[in-house]
Every structure is written in C-alpha cells, then in structure tokens.
Amino acid sequence: MLPGRLTPEQGAFVRAVDAFCTRECPAHRLRELTANGTIAHHPGLYEKLAATGWVGLGIPEEYGGCGGTLTDIALLVERLGYHRLPLDGHFATVITSQALIRYATEEQKRRVLPAVAAGAVLSIAITEPDVGSDAASLRTRARRNGADWLINGEKIYTSGATHARWVLLATRTDADVAKHRGLSLFLLPMDSVEVTPLDMLGQVDTTITRYLDVPATDTDIVGGLNQGWNVLVRGLNSERMIVGAKAVGLAQRAFDDTLGYVKTRHQFGQPIGRFQALQHGLAETATRLLAARLMVMHTAGLLDVGEPAPAEASMTKLFASELAQQASLQGMQFMGGMGYSMEHDMQAYVRDALVMTIFGGTSQIQKNIIAGQLGLGG
Ligand SMILES: Cc1cc2nc3c(=O)[nH]c(=O)nc-3n(C[C@H](O)[C@H](O)[C@H](O)COP(=O)(O)OP(=O)(O)OC[C@H]3O[C@@H](n4cnc5c(N)ncnc54)[C@H](O)[C@@H]3O)c2cc1C
C-alpha cells in the first residue's frame, strides 16, 4: 500500500525508490548481511543511494543537491524504512543537513552540502551521558582560546558517527545565562573526534563521541553564537516528522507481512485471517496506518511552507512511533511461534520499532510538548 493522494511525479518517485531497494538490497540479501549480527549502515549501499541523487534530496541545486521538499524526503524515508535498508547514516545525515540548509552560513553550506549530496555522512551530537530529555542542560563546553575556541565534552548516542565526515555539535558557550540561552552549535570535521560504537538492540548505528581540546573558530558556529537552542528546536520539528515517516514505513512492513501470513496460515480448517479477533486487530492497524501517513504528509506540508508546526510534529512522532511498536508486536502475536522465530524478520521489526518512541524525544516528552502547545505548560 503506497501513500494516498500522491502526484504522478511523487508516485513515480516512490516506485523508483522501491525498485532501487528491491534491486540493491532484497530481503534475502539483507538477511545475508545481518546473519552475523545487525548491520546498521552499509557504506557501499550508501554510495549507490548517493549515485541516484536522492541523498541530495532537500539540498538546493546550487549546493549540489537535487532540490525537493520535506514531503519528498518523507516519501523517501518511508520507503527506505519499509525495505529496512541498512542506511542509518542517511537518517542522521538528513536530519543534520536540514538544520544546515536553514541556518548555516553561505561558506558553511558550500563547505559541506555538496559533499553531503555526493554521499558524505553527517551526525548531530546533542545527548550526553547525564543529559538526555532535558537537552538544554547539556555540558559539553566550548571556551574561548584567544579569538578561537577549544571544545571539551562527551556525547552519547551520536548516530552515524562511525561513518560521518562532519558532526554538528551542541555546546555550552556561555554558562552565566539561562540554560537555553548559552548554547551554540559547531560544525566540525570528525578527524579530531574520538568515536566508540555502541552495541544496541536494533538496526541503529550509534556511538559515544568524545571531544578533547577540539579546536574551532567562529566560522564553525551554525546559527549564531548562543543561538543554538533556536536552531535545535526548529530542527527537532523536522526530525520528528522524519522519524514519523520512518515509523510509518516500518509499521506498514510489519502489517503487510502479518496480512500475508494470516491469509495463508490455516488452523481449525481455515485461514487464521477468517477469525474475527485477528480481522479486527488488522482493521484497527490499517486505520491507524492511514491516519499516521496522513499526519506525516500534513506535518511535512506545514514544514514545507515554513510553519514551525511543533504540535503537529510531536503528534506525528508520537502516533507513528507508537504505531510501529503496536503493528510489529501485533505481527508477532498473530504469527504465533513463527513471529517469535529468528526464521522470520518480525523479531527484527519489533527490535527496530522499540527505539522509535525513544530517539528524537521520547513519547513522554512529545506529550509534554503537545500539552505545552495546548497552553498547559508549567
Ligand atoms: C538509537 C538512538 C539513536 C539516537 N541518536 C541520537 C543522535 O544522533 N544525536 C543525539 O544527540 N541523540 C541521539 N539519541 C538520543 C535520544 O534523543 C535520547 O535517548 C532521548 O532524547 C532520551 O534521552 P535519555 O536516553 O537520556 O533518557 P532520559 O532523558 O534519561 O529519560 C528517561 C525516561 O524518563 C522520561 N522523562 C524524562 N524527562 C521527563 C519529563 N519531563 N516528563 C516525563 N517523562 C520524562 C523519559 O520519557 C524516559 O522514559 C539517540 C538515542 C538512541 C537510543
């Protein structure tokens, strides 16, 4: 089932992405790749994706990209999520490049975006071992060193960093003002960053990154000195919509596999899909899938016309990420022992879905944001 109400161009684009995925990484190839453990990012596959030009989606043509909107990016991410291509670095890159497109200086854009469109990976490092949901309390410190800067600190769950060429690093540049006011983002090459991969449950490529006396200059600051919080907040709205798109792709995949299974598996002399309990469960999931997809498209459309859409972005992320979990857990239950078996991919869908209510802000934080937008903030 493809997203509804697509333009002919969008429909052709989605079909082309599907063809790419099934050609370059069909399900059996993905199984071979992951036979000895999870592969979250496959550089060779990423090169092939970059060669199609789609890595440059959303990046204006003058910076080497192919233009396009967040809606186009959502369509791409949904289909990559559906086919579960091991391209987690793409996810980190899309989210980071969106912040750069909006807030980087002309020189920064020219420095980085053409390489990104050609296949360089970007990371964004906000979360720290002691600072997660309360991101504005981050402690990684950038201090003046003459006219320049020296940066020290440690980040955790920096996705894509094992393959990244640059990181967008959130730092504290002023410790004497309210916590939201003293933050700045630095665009840094990965050469001077220590990277330690983390062992995680699902198909995610994430790391600890350490910064020890890393030099930087004013020309590396993205969005202005002490303006980092504004950039992050705006960027997180795009990120939440994009997580929503990925979650819809995964939920659809779990649903399609479940539907196929209940039509062919027989018990008590009939396909198990004839039992009303299973029918109602799948009818509810199909309904939620339609709603989640419409939410992604609606929020992407708002972001495309410059609306910040904080409530819509959080609602989309909340609903779609919880749907990915519900659809994959339902698949596991409706497939019985086969759903739990390593012989089928449903167990991988469950593992991948579990993180979706955590990264990009947990479900609890999304509810806090939505409540705040309803005028209920403390
Ligand atoms: C696979 C993966 C990839 C990630 N990628 C990146 C990345 O690329 N860059 C990056 O910077 N970060 C990344 N993150 C970090 C992610 O955004 C954080 O994990 C997330 O924001 C939660 O922070 P935390 O893990 O510290 O949990 P905590 O903030 O410690 O929260 C723990 C629990 O307390 C709850 N909680 C906390 N505060 C409140 C509150 N005010 N109200 C109600 N409940 C609350 C949370 O909802 C959660 O259930 C990634 C995480 C994962 C797992």
SS (H, E, C) the chain: CCCCCCCHHHHHHHHHHHHHHHHHCCHHHHHHHCCCCCCCECHHHHHHHHHHCHHHECCCHHHCCCECCHHHHHHHHHHHHHHCCCEHHHHHHHHHHHHHHHHCCHHHHHHHHHHHHCCCEEEEECCECCECCCHHHCCCEEEEECCEEEEEEEEEEEECCCCEEEEEEEEECCCCCCCCCCEEEEEEEHHHEEEEECCCCCCCCEEEEEEEEEEECHHHEECCCCCHHHHHHHHHHHHHHHHHHHHHHHHHHHHHHHHHHHHHCEECCEEHHHCHHHHHHHHHHHHHHHHHHHHHHHHHHHHHCCCCCHHHHHHHHHHHHHHHHHHHHHHHHHCHHHHHCCCCCHHHHHHHHHHHHCCCCCHHHHHHHHHHHCCCCC
Where do you find CATH 1.10.540.10 in the chain?
Answer: 8-121
CA–CA dist 358, 109 (Å, integer): 30
Tell me the CATH number for domain 8-121: 1.10.540.10
Question: Residue 4: what pLDDT?
Answer: 58
Return the ligand 1 atom nearest residue 123 CA: 8
Please give the class, per CATH, of domain 230-373. mainly alpha
Where do you find CATH 1.20.140.10 in the chain?
Answer: 230-373
Burial of 176 (0-12, 13-18, 19+ CB in 10 A): exposed
Residue 136 CB: number of other CB atoms within 10 A? Answer: 18
Residues 241-269 as b or e (16 or more Cβ within 10 Å = b): bbbbbbbbbbbbbbbebbbebbeeeeeee
260 CB-side CA count, 13 A? 10
What are 238's two structure tokens? Answer: 């795009």
Q: Spell out, as residue ranges, where the chain has pLDDT lower than 70.
A: 1-4, 378
- Ligand 1 pocket mutation pick from 236, 358, 367, 376 by most atoms within 8 angstroms of CB: 358
Question: Residue 1: what pLDDT?
Answer: 43
Residue bearing the CA closest to ligand 1, atom 31: 133
CA–CA dist 169, 191 (Å, integer): 14
Residue bearing the CA closest to ligand 1, atom 48: 362
Residue bearing the CA closest to ligand 1, atom 17: 359
Residue bearing the CA closest to ligand 1, atom 43: 364
* pLDDT single digits (tens) 136-169: 999 999 999 999 999 999 999 999 999 999 999 9
Question: Residue 35: what pLDDT?
Answer: 78
What is the CB < 6 Å shell around ligand 1?
92, 124-127, 132-133, 157-159, 200, 204, 206, 355, 358-362, 364-365, 368
Give the distance (Å) from ligand 1 centre to CA of residue 134.
Answer: 9
Question: Residue 378: what pLDDT?
Answer: 63
Residue bearing the CA closest to ligand 1, atom 51: 359
Question: Residue 93: what pLDDT?
Answer: 96
Tell me the CATH number for domain 124-228: 2.40.110.10
- In the chain, the N- to C-terminal Cα span, in Å, equals 42
Contact 253, 349 (CB under 8 A): yes
Give the distance (Å) from ligand 1 centre to CA of residue 236.
Answer: 13
CA–CA dist 366, 311 (Å, integer): 9
Give the distance (Å) from ligand 1 centre to CA of residue 82.
Answer: 24
> Considering only CA atoms, which of 118, 193, 112, 105 is closest in space to residue 155?
193
